[in-house]
Amino acid sequence: MNDTLRWNLADADDPQLSMFPDARREVGIGEYRGLEFYEVMAKTIINKVPGPPRFGFQYTVNPYRGCSHACTYCFARPTHEYLGLNAAEDFDSKIIVKINAAERLRAEIQPSKWGGALIALGTNTDPYQRAEGKYRLTRAILEVLVEHGNRFSVLTKNSLAVRDLDLFVEAARTMDIRVDFSIGTFDEDVWRLTEPGTPHPRKRMEAVARLNEAGVPSGVLMGPVIPGISDEPAQLQEVARAAVEAGAVSLGTVLLHVKPALRDHFLTWIEDERPELLPRYRRLYGSKSFVPEGMQKRVSQMVNQFAQQAGGLRRYQRHKPVAAKPSTTTAAAEQLRLIG
Does residue 198 contact residue 69 with C-beta atoms inside 8 Å? yes
* C-beta of 79 vs 212, nearer to ligand SF4: 79
E strands, the chain, are 24-27, 36-40, 46-48, 59-61, 64-65, 94-98, 119-121, 152-156, 178-182, 220-225, 251-255
Q: Does 74 bind ligand SF4 (CB under 6 A)?
A: yes
Q: Does 339 bind ligand SF4 (CB under 6 A)?
A: yes
Beta-strand pair 64-65/220-225: unpaired
Q: Shortest distance, CB of residue 332 to ligand SF4, whole angstroms?
A: 12
Residue 84 and residue 194: Cα distance in Å, rounded? 25
CA-nearest of 194, 191, 199 to 72 is: 194
Q: Does 71 bind ligand SF4 (CB under 6 A)?
A: yes
* C-beta of 72 vs 212, nearer to ligand SF4: 72
* C-beta of 145 vs 336, nearer to ligand SF4: 336
* C-beta of 67 vs 333, nearer to ligand SF4: 67
Q: Does 69 bind ligand SF4 (CB under 6 A)?
A: yes
CA-nearest of 254, 143, 162 to 208 is: 162
The stretch among 63-71, 171-179, 247-255, 284-292 that binds ligand SF4 (CB under 6 A) is 63-71
Which one among 76, 85, 226, 251 touches ligand SF4, defined by CB under 6 A?
76
The region that residue 38 occupies, defined by phi over 0 for left and psi between -120 and 50 for alpha, beta otherwise, is beta
The region that residue 109 occupies, defined by phi over 0 for left and psi between -120 and 50 for alpha, beta otherwise, is alpha
Which one among 14, 126, 180, 334 touches ligand SF4, defined by CB under 6 A?
126
The stretch among 7-15, 38-46, 69-77, 107-115 that binds ligand SF4 (CB under 6 A) is 69-77
Q: Does 125 bind ligand SF4 (CB under 6 A)?
A: yes
Angle between the N-to-C axes of helices 278-285 and 260-273, in degrees from 0 to 180, rounded to the nearest 10: 170
Footprint on this chain of ligand SF4 (rule: CB under 6 A): 67, 69-71, 74, 76, 125-126, 157, 339-340
